[in-house]
Structures are given as structure tokens and as C-alpha cells.
Structure 1
Amino acid sequence: MKTRLLLGALLCYGAAFAQTIELEEFATGFTDLTEITHAGTDRFYVAEQGGTIRILNADGTVGDTPFLDITDILSTGGERGLLGLAFHPDYEDNGYLYVNYTNLEGSTVVARYTRSAENDITADPASAAIVLTVAQPAANHNGGCLRFGPDGYLYIAMGDGGGAGDPDGNGQNKNVLLGKLLRIDVNSGAQYGIPEGNPFVGIDGSDEIWAYGLRNPWKFSFNRLNGDLWIADVGQGVIEEINKATSTAAGLNYGWRCYEGTQVYNNTGCSTAEMFTQPFAEYTHEATDGCSITGGYVYTGTTYPNLAGKYIFTDYCNNKIGWAAADGTLSYSEAFTGNEFTAFGEDIDGELYVGGKTSGTIYKITDSSLSTKGFNNKLFSMAPNPAGSEVFINLNNATANTAVSIYDLGGKLLLQQPLTTTANRIDTSALQAGMYLLEVNNVNGKNTQKLVIN
């Protein structure tokens, strides 16, 4: 099944780029999926809220036997259940995976399991080692997302403990783990160690805390190219927010419950001396028909250059695929009805997928207006890529009025040069290391490719 949604212009530089987003059905048959992730290969692992993890192969087939089944040790329904899954960076060697679930008492549990010694398609259910347990005062706002950061530490998203408006003030209380993003070292200590650089070590505040002032972060991720941290935080009733920080920014306060997005929510007891970090972007329920943001990833794949550098997200209620440009501008697709998207997946090449709770289907996110694969009559080739101080453009057909333009991922024009021969040298020495979009345009058309500068 393929569904096509036409999106408006996203980048404006000369002629605007527009995407035709297609969700191509990749696999189906899942129940209440909560996570789509991989362990360093082209195989996906899909976590289902009821307590099972299933293997999704690169060809879209689903394994008959659950990789792990912990249904008998968790409570589920509503916002409880198996909520997070992450594989150790050295999974190939040690076989460790980590899950986040609510146990029979309703507490959040982070536990480590080990791959079976007999095969690589099951984990040993008897290998459970509890890493962390956090009591939950209510059934909702459990967070649950797990990610290993570029520093090799395990990050854990914790909601504020539930109850409308954070009645216990957990978001701003640095001595509790609720309403926080935690960072722990699972390679040291009896259960875990505290990484050097955690902001509240030796001072007031829990040692595990990396960031605070969160309400219910439903998915966070790290940009695999530069390490930037992106957090989607579900709002109370008006505003959904997207937070962004460098991977080394410790101790940030994202404001809840003093703020919902950029608006004051309840400033009782909020310190005027506190430094709050404003959202990178936000949207209102009224303007978008949204109610609960589902965070995704920055697109770092190579197939769809127009999506490069965009943070892709969705909303549980409006079923629209949205994204944030480098300046924080948000754009949206039309709604994909009957899905209720709950999780994104990123494969080993940076291509993105999204899963729907109601449909039980995982789709691949594509842009049919432009891809680097399958161009007919491609205008040019370039080398080297990655490049240093220069790159060479070789035109398939040299014609008059051919030009090359280089843009940053926010759409800012950085370089423009006419191409007068079949082979052309472009001086890129003024460009900093990073990713760019290189566009060649003439009467035969326009092609864009991703350019990486070392």
C-alpha cells in the first residue's frame, strides 16, 4: 500500500523545494507498538505495549517467535506497559538489551536482558537484571524512552508521575527522578554508575539527572551525525513542544510546570532566578488538531536530500507527519487517518519509518519528488564526497546557463557558481565541516545531492 501526501514548500531559496511525502507500507500485524529500533544491523526490533518484542527483518517479514516476552511481569493499558527498548552499543559482543516497563505495582522499571546463548533471534527471559526502579504516583506520564547517547551512556526519559498539572511539583524538584531525563553508566557499579559531568553530583539534586522540567517526554533521540539531543515533550492541554540541545549541555531546565511551552502554566513557587530553556519549536492543539506529540529523528539518510537535517515528528491525534526546519519553522502533511502514530524508527543508514497503533502497520517515510536513487538523465556527478577544500562537478551534458548552488540545511545560500565546461572545480575551502545540499540547475532540469565536508 502506498499513500501520497503533498506537502507545502519547506525550503525557500530561489525556487522552493516541495516534498511529496509517501508512506510506503513496510510491515504490518503489530499490536500497540511503542518502539522501533535496531541493534547495529538491518534488522528491526519492535516493542509492543503488551510486553513482547518482535523481530522485523529487512525484507519486511516478521519473525514467528517473539524475541522477548515479558507480558507476565508488567501492568499494561493506558500509558503503562512495555514503553522503551535500547540495545547496548556493544550488543554484538555482550548481547545486552535494556527495556523500560511498568511492573505489576505500576512502578517504572529499567532492566537488562541478554541475548540467548543458543541463537540470535531470542533473548533469555531468565537473564533479567534490574537496573533501576522508580515508584509512580499515578498511571500516566511514565515517559519510557531509552537511548544510548554518543557518549555511550544510557539516557532514560521519565514523565512527571501523572495527575493533571504536575500536582506534586516533580518537574522542578531536582531531588526526585520524575519529570527528568536521566543519564547513567550501565558499564560500572553494581547496577549502574554516575557518569562524570552529570550536573548535580556533589550538590543539591539527584545524581542521575541530566535535564529536568519535563512533563511526559514521549520519545527523544540523538542526531547520529552531530550528537544533538531532541526531546518531544507532551503538553498539558494547549501546547506541544520540541526541545533541542547539544549532547554536552547538562542541567537544562525545560520549564514544566512553570511553563507549558513558552507560556506560563503555573508559576507558584517558581524561582525568578531559575534559567529556563525555551523550546526549539512548539505548536498548539487548536492550530493543528493535535493533542500529544510523538518525537522522531533528524533525517540523516542519503536517499532524500530535501529532508536532510529536518527533525521529523508526528502527533497521536492528528496523524500528520511534521518536521522542523533549522530555524524552527514547522511544516505538516495532510492527515493519515486510522493510524495514531506512536513511534518512529531509524535504520542503520538514517532512513526513517513510522508506526501506527491502530493500524498495526510500520511505514517507510519517502519523498517521491526527489531521491538520490534512480534518477533518469542525472545532470551531474561529483567527487570526492566527502570533500575537503574542493569538489569537482562533472556534467553529463554541458549547456548554457548551468549553475551550481550550495545551501546549508536551513536553506541559506552559501555559494553559487556558473558551470561552463563538462568538468568544473568548486572551491569549498570556506565551508565548515558538516552536511550541505548541492544543487545543479539548467534547462534540462534540477538535481540535488547531499555534500559532506570533512
Structure 2
Amino acid sequence: MKSLLNIFLLLISSFVISQTIALQSFGTGFSSPLEITHAGDSRLFIVEQGGNIKILNSNGTINATPFLNVSPLISTGGERGLLGLAFHPDYANNGFFFINYTNTAGNTVIAKYTVTLTGSNPSPNVANTTATILMTINQPYSNHNGGSLKFGPDGYLYIGMGDGGSSGDPQNYAQNINSNLGKMLRINVNSTVSPFYTIPPTNPYVGVAGNDEIWAIGLRNPWKFSFNRLNGDLWIADVGQNAIEEVNKIPSPLPNTVNFGWRCYEGNTAYNTSGCVAQSATYTAIATPLHPENCSVTGGYVYTGSAYPNLQGKYLFTDVCNAKIGIINSAGSLTYSQDFPGSSFVTFGENNVGELFIGDIGNGTIYKITDSSLGVANFDKNNYKIYPNPSKNELYIEKSSESYPTEVNIFDVNGKLLLSQQTQNIQRNIINTALLSSGLYIMNIKDNQEVSTTHKLLIE
């Protein structure tokens, strides 16, 4: 009882200070995790730089057998390795997924794999090892491989490519429309004949000079990008050179061509403008975190889950040199969470209901992102009396002189609805919590004025 009460008091004090991001250990023991994604269900797929893809289940367990192991195919170290994973939008029916890795020659490979989901011997947790190579892209240096790939709301596969490496893009690949380096590529993978993809007709260089696969140019090293699953906005974090990191937001519907400016511009500042277009012809970043506190930005996601209303619509990202989580709101304002000392965050992930996760390459831990500022102060907004909290078997909600509760919903920290109760205009409503296990829960209360408030609830 004493320890639970102490935890609750700490939660109260954290809210009084500010909105805070909290991390809950969700899965441990991974080796250099670089990507976290899902296949439309509750499983998380963890990509390890060395070549394994492992399944992290919703209860925190890890399957003993990897989903896929491609370690013999890849070169690792530095910025090379198995870097990206994306499941086809119709994966539930076709079993297709795609990976991005650095092969033993040091070049980028985009490959298609399958899972047997139907028939007499389905194997949803272990992929087939036969691959179809869609493209191989020469990498002149060992760094700036990019690595992310995601399906957009248009059904096309987007592939983030770095500028080829070294420093300062010495060959000017990012602005060269005849090179796939320093670009965002966009392809249609619904083809059964070589090269097993087709070109979207709206790609900017279809029928004219330039590589048909290119959608956008001017990227240095897009280390993680994501689509807002609710509205289709594209967010790209692009690693800076010496002084400025960059986060770009491209609202949906996406334009048919974009120039993000590198090597001409670092962030929104001139870098090497020889032979360059005017800065007004390039895309303006929504955020430009500065060095030396930052050094290598890691892109995240817009929070679209239901467990933490204070995070709704906010974009979360980080930097490997800055163990804080950056938060960009809908107005473009940037704030930071508290510091997480000793952390080396390099990837975010989103589950099938929009809850967010973050991976630490150093300790191999996947954390669930939570909002520890939820609701304790909200008790005063509606003047209810809510007690006892911590609770055991029953929770009481007394109405105020101005309003009364009409509906109470209690969720676990993963956003799963566990209890829903209609309440009445009486002095004290009783909520039976006896069936809830000990732990932290999220309680949402709607009142007769259609105002909803969210609170933390601790069950002994």
C-alpha cells in the first residue's frame, strides 16, 4: 500500500510541474533495434541492425524464433545493416512485406518477402526466406544509407534514401535528378513481372529527364519518416551536417514534387549554394533543432492513439545526442520532454491502434511512450469528488453543483477499454473496480455538458 501511494504522489507532483513524457519498459534484450512497426494486428515487429526481425507480443513476450533472419545477406556496422521494414496495405490477404538493407557489397537493397497466411500450414509468425529483389542502389560511402520505407495512404511504397555519404554531399547527388541518392522514392509494388514494381504516373520525372522512381529530392539522410495514419500528412526527419537538424511536415494531399534543399541548404539556412535554385523554391522545415545539443535527428510519429489525450495530434521525435523527446504541436511550436539520461534513442514505432513506442540502440529496450501528466489536476475542473485513489474495490464520484457525470470509461495503458458504466444525476455514483488488477489505468469521464476529462486511476 505504501509503495502504491508513493507512486501516486509522484504522479501528482509530475503533473503540477508540467506535462511530462514517461517511458514504460515494454520489451528487452534486443540487439541494436532500428525499426518498430506492426502488420495490422497487436504484434510489434522489431528490426535489429544485425539482420533479425523479431516479434514482440502485446504482453511483452518475444517469440523465440525470429520472424526473419537475413544476417548472411547484409553488411553491418556504422549506418549499415537491416534498416527498414514495411508491410503491404493488403498484408492480411497477400502476406507481402518489404525490407531495406545494406548488402555485403555495401549497397542498398529493397526486397520483397512473403508469409504464408492461408492453406493447410499457415505460418504467420515465421516468414518465407525466398526474396524478390526490387532494386539495388549503389552506395559510394558507408554512411547516409537512409533506410526507412513506408506505405503511404495512396498505397505506394515510399523509400527514404540518403545522399550517399561522406560529408557535404561532394558529388551533389541530392540535387541530381539522375541519381536515386538523397531522394524520397515512390513506387507501386503491385506488379508480378520484373522489375516487380511500376512507376506512379504522378511521379515528377515520368516521361521527362530524371529517374522515374523519384518523388522528392534534396534529402541528406532521412533517418525515419512516417505518415499520420488519420490524415495522411508526411513527416520526415532529415539529419543535418554541422549545425542544424531538420524536421519536415508535408500536409496531405502530397504535392507531386518537392525539393527539400540539401546540399544547397541545411535546414532553412544556406550551406553550399553553388549552382542551386533559390531558397524560395525549396521546402521550408517546420523545425530546425540546433547543434551542439543535437547531432542526428530521429523521426517519430504524430500521436493518434486514445490512451493519452494530451498527446493527441502532436508529433514526437528525438535525437541520438539529445536524450529528450521533442514535441511539435499543431501550430508548429516545439517543446521538449524531460531528459532520459544515458539513453540512445534511434527509432520510434506505432502499434495498430496508434500508441507509440521508442527504441534504445544502446540497451536494446523497447519502451512504451505514456503521458504521466494525465488528469490529476483535471479533478478541479469539474469539481467532482473522486475517491479513493488509489482504489481497491469501489470508486466514488460525487457530482458538483454545476455538473454531474454521465459516463465513465476505464482503459488500460495500451488503450484497451476494460470498463464502461453509465452514471446518473445522483449525489454519489459508485464504480465497481473489484475486477481490475493492481496497476495504473486511464479513466475518462463525460458529464452532462458533453465535457470529457481524463484522469489517472491507481488500483491497489
Give the TM bin, normalised by the shorter chain: 0.7 to 0.9
Alpha-carbon distance, 1:120 to partner: 1.2
Alpha-carbon distance, 1:380 to partner: 11
Distance 1:315 1:121 in 2: 32
- What TM-score do you get using the length of structure 1 for normalisation? 0.79
Q: Is the 8 A contact 1:259 1:267 kept in 2?
A: yes
Q: Is the 8 A contact 1:84 1:144 kept in 2?
A: yes
Alpha-carbon distance, 1:371 to partner: 6.2
Structure 1, residues 364-391: CA drift from partner, whole Å, max 9, x if none? 111122169xx9899599xxxxxxxxxx
> In structure 2, what is the equivalent of residue 162 of structure 1?
165
Distance 2:64 2:279 in 1: 56
Structure 1, residues 30-68: CA drift from partner, whole Å, max 9, x if none? 011110000000001100000000010000000111110
Moved more, 274-283 or 206-215: 274-283
> In structure 2, what is the equivalent of residue 138 of structure 1?
141
Percent identical pairs in the alignment equals 54
Distance 1:365 1:274 in 2: 37
Structure 1, residues 311-357: CA drift from partner, whole Å, max 9, x if none? 00011111111111122221112321232111111011111000000
From 236, 239, 244, the counterpart of 2:241: 236
Distance 1:97 1:6 in 2: 44
Structure 1, residues 229-256: CA drift from partner, whole Å, max 9, x if none? 0000000011111001124222110100
> In structure 2, what is the equivalent of residue 246 of structure 1?
251
Alpha-carbon distance, 1:204 to partner: 2.2
Residues 397 and 238 (structure 1 numbering): CA distance in 2 closer, same or farther, change over 3 Å? Answer: same
Distance 1:6 1:155 in 2: 43
Residues 351 and 165 (structure 1 numbering): CA distance in 2 closer, same or farther, change over 3 Å? Answer: same
Residues 264 and 448 (structure 1 numbering): CA distance in 2 closer, same or farther, change over 3 Å? Answer: same
Residue identity opposite 2:296 in structure 1:
S
The count of aligned residue pairs is 389
> In structure 2, what is the equivalent of residue 362 of structure 1?
366
> In structure 2, what is the equivalent of residue 452 of structure 1?
none
SS at match of 2:92: helix
Distance 2:94 2:287 in 1: 39
Distance 1:243 1:7 in 2: 35
Runs (4+) of structure 1 moved beyond 3 Å?
4-9, 375-381, 438-442
> In structure 2, what is the equivalent of residue 176 of structure 1?
179
Indicate whether 1:399 and 2:401 are aligned: yes
Distance 2:115 2:25 in 1: 29
Distance 2:21 2:12 in 1: 6
SS at match of 1:239: coil
Distance 2:136 2:47 in 1: 20
Q: Is the 8 A contact 1:5 1:20 kept in 2?
A: no
RMSD: 3.2
Question: Which 5+ residue runs of structure 2 have no aligned equivalent?
Answer: 1-6, 385-396, 405-423, 427-443, 456-460
Distance 2:160 2:279 in 1: 26
From 315, 334, 338, the counterpart of 1:334: 338
Q: Is the 8 A contact 1:33 1:49 kept in 2?
A: yes
Q: Is the 8 A contact 1:303 1:371 kept in 2?
A: no
> In structure 1, what is the equivalent of residue 214 of structure 2?
209
Q: Is the 8 A contact 1:56 1:63 kept in 2?
A: yes
> In structure 1, what is the equivalent of residue 321 of structure 2?
317
> In structure 1, what is the equivalent of residue 200 of structure 2?
195
Q: Is the 8 A contact 2:294 2:320 kept in 1?
A: yes
From 227, 233, 251, the counterpart of 2:232: 227
Indicate whether 1:281 and 2:287 are aligned: yes
Indicate whether 1:31 and 2:31 are aligned: yes
Distance 1:349 1:136 in 2: 36
Indicate whether 1:77 and 2:77 are aligned: yes
Alpha-carbon distance, 1:302 to partner: 1.0
Indicate whether 1:120 and 2:124 are aligned: yes
Larger Rg belongs to? 2
Residue identity opposite 2:344 in structure 1:
E
Q: Is the 8 A contact 2:14 2:372 kept in 1?
A: no
Residue identity opposite 2:162 in structure 1:
G
Distance 1:95 1:380 in 2: 52
> In structure 2, what is the equivalent of residue 45 of structure 1?
45
Distance 1:301 1:242 in 2: 22
Question: Which 5+ residue runs of structure 1 have no aligned equivalent?
Answer: 10-15, 382-394, 403-420, 424-437, 450-454
Distance 1:362 1:284 in 2: 27
Residues 325 and 6 (structure 1 numbering): CA distance in 2 closer, same or farther, change over 3 Å? Answer: farther
The aligned runs of 1:441-452 (5 Å cut-off) are 447=453
Indicate whether 1:262 and 2:265 are aligned: no
Distance 2:65 2:57 in 1: 13
Q: Is the 8 A contact 1:154 1:183 kept in 2?
A: yes
Residues 78 and 264 (structure 1 numbering): CA distance in 2 closer, same or farther, change over 3 Å? Answer: same
